[in-house]
Structure 1
Amino acid sequence: MSYVIPKDFAVRMIDAGHSKVMLSTRDTLIRSYMAGAILALAAAFAVTVSTQTGSPLLGALLFPVGFCMLYLMGFDLLTGVFTLVPLAWLDKRPGVTLNSMLRNWGLVFVGNFAGALTTAVLMAIVWTYGFSSEVSEVGQAIGHLGEGRTVGYAEHGAAGMLTLFVRGVLCNWMVSTGVVGAMMSDSLPGKVIAMWMPIMLFFYMGFEHSVVNMFLFPIGLMLGGEFTLMDYLIWNEIPTVLGNLVGGLTFVGLMIYGTHARTAPGRQFAAKVKV
């Protein structure tokens, strides 16, 4: 599978973060728009499979198809740039400043949201025959999903908010591992296998992904979910974004950077000579 050793893919991570910061506004928006749209379609696919088969595991097993597609096509998710771009800043790459990093995050957020919202509108039309009939079984499932993952957290107060944040952390620990997975091999099968495993894990475990939620909750509102826009923002999207940032950067980006890109000097072995 032409495996790339950690020391080398750590450099690829820094290079990728640098290139994303230096990308034009137009290209950043296009790439993030398409990433949001494709990931949202994969989420719709996974929920459809889970609902129609009664097997959440099967839905999780198939969901990574969207993630693999979008990364192989060079598109960008907010969860990925949260992990890669700060490494270029820490490495003092030319042109990478705090402002340019925040600019990249903001543009990718906007692009991802626009793409996910586009897919939400299209799928709402599909599941309601153009809003002319009753919501389908899958649509109802998504509406209930939105309720449970907004007001469901709110019912637990501060403990619910903590749980939501931690689920966001755990999510991007796995998702960013998938992002790095694409750099661990120079072959197509190797890239797909390395990406597939952690993405399947996060989806089945019900962790919170900010871009997937940009699809699930707007479409939930369109299909009659009993929660509000403010419920979605306060009791899901904002804490999830923060959790995704902490999880990806802390458990993936900084760890790999710290031990593979900036390896500490090894211990010296001094042989004892008997006199």
Structure 2
Amino acid sequence: MSYVKPPDFVTAMVDAGETKAFMSTRDTLIRSFMAGAVLALAAAFAVTVTVQTGEPLLGAVLFPVGFCLLYLMGFDLLTGVFTLVPLAVLDKRRGVTVRLMLRNWGWVFVGNFAGAMTVAVLMAIIFTTGFSTSPDAVGQQIGTIGEARTVGYADAGAAGMLTLFVRGVLCNWMVSTGVVAAMMSTSVPGKVIAMWMPIMLFFYMGFEHSIVNMFLFPSGLLLGGDFSVGDYLLWNEIPTVVGNLVGGLTFVGLTLYTTHARTGPSRRVSPPEDEEPAAPTAGARTPVLAERRD
């Protein structure tokens, strides 16, 4: 069977966290750059589908293609390492320290942002025919997304900030579930199906994903969105990163690790060693040992 049981894939989660903590800076940057770029292309694809068909659900159904591709190729998202690397620290894997964990997070953030920003510039060229015309319908929609999810939150004040944070928490609850889901199967179809479901859910629900936003909001600024870099950082990216960290680590990493790798004591009561086995009840069948014949 291709299904991997929870105790086994939780061990794989900790192993993955350890591997990522020790990964070289070069490999970390390359893998995170490509992850940010592929996810950004998937976001552009989903927005294009939504605009051209008028059906947001179809865009959400198709968006996970990018997520599945990047994880099958072994690339890294910040939302994933938020969940996996701390488990190696908690498991006290040899040499894995908080400093290594923070180093990994920092380089993955840089790589994801560079990849998403690269795609944002390339797609802006397409949406504006090399910046020679006004943005097309898809470009205009991306600019609107940027305004609604920065200035829109700011207009609501503290309530807007709380809403933004909670959307970030819920987002990485689902995204990290997708990361873990890739470890639940040994077959490619099994991995893809398991990853597809939570990613489709987060995208359609409009939850806040820090790497997707690294594409959408810089794109919005390039395409004439009515918000500033400060609006983007304060009223989206920074709270979203914090929410993503809390959601992935709390609701996915720690819960799975606690109940499958560090399980509590069983409530099963064993009989004392000097206690005689209970006599069989009437009608109960007792095992019969076959007579050995030489």
**TM-score range normalised by the length of the shorter chain:** over 0.9
Matches within 5 A, 1:121-160: 121-160=121-160
Larger radius of gyration: 2
2:62 paired residue number: 62
2:17 paired residue number: 17
Matches within 5 A, 1:197-236: 197-236=197-236
Matches within 5 A, 1:30-109: 30-109=30-109
1:251 paired residue number: 251
1:84-122 per-position Cα deviation (integer Å, ceiling 9, x unaligned): 000000001112101100000000000000000000000
**Cα distance in 1 between the residues matched to 2:245 and 2:94:** 23
Offset at residue 263 of structure 1 (A): 1.0
Offset at residue 269 of structure 1 (A): 2.9
**Cα distance in 2 between the residues matched to 1:268 and 1:18:** 34
Give the 4+ runs in structure 1 shifted more than 2 A: 268-274
**Cα distance in 2 between the residues matched to 1:155 and 1:246:** 25
1:115 paired residue number: 115
Residue type at the aligned position of 2:223: L
**Cα distance in 1 between the residues matched to 2:95 and 2:128:** 48
1:183-227 per-position Cα deviation (integer Å, ceiling 9, x unaligned): 000000000000000000000000000000000000000000000
* Matched position secondary structure for 1:93: coil
**Cα distance in 2 between the residues matched to 1:95 and 1:66:** 33
RMSD over aligned CA atoms reads: 1.3
**Cα distance in 2 between the residues matched to 1:269 and 1:93:** 33
1:216-246 per-position Cα deviation (integer Å, ceiling 9, x unaligned): 0000000000000000000000000000000
2:170 paired residue number: 170
* Matched position secondary structure for 1:94: coil
Residue type at the aligned position of 1:27: D
**Cα distance in 2 between the residues matched to 1:125 and 1:262:** 51
**Cα distance in 1 between the residues matched to 2:9 and 2:123:** 37
**Cα distance in 1 between the residues matched to 2:92 and 2:256:** 17
Residue type at the aligned position of 1:37: A
* Matched position secondary structure for 2:100: helix
Offset at residue 270 of structure 1 (A): 5.8
Offset at residue 265 of structure 1 (A): 1.6
Residue type at the aligned position of 1:171: C
Deviates more, 1:258-267 or 1:4-13: 258-267
Length-normalised TM-score, structure 1: 0.98
Structure 1 unaligned blocks of 5 or more: none
Deviates more, 1:175-184 or 1:264-273: 264-273
Residue type at the aligned position of 2:185: S
* Matched position secondary structure for 2:85: helix
Identity %: 77
Residue type at the aligned position of 1:200: M
Find out whether 1:26 has 2:26 as its counterpart: yes
1:122-156 per-position Cα deviation (integer Å, ceiling 9, x unaligned): 00001111001111000000000000000000011
User: How many residues were matched structurally?
Assistant: 274
Length-normalised TM-score, structure 2: 0.92
**Cα distance in 2 between the residues matched to 1:260 and 1:184:** 14
**Cα distance in 2 between the residues matched to 1:268 and 1:207:** 42
Instruction: Please identify which structure carries the higher helix content.
Output: 1
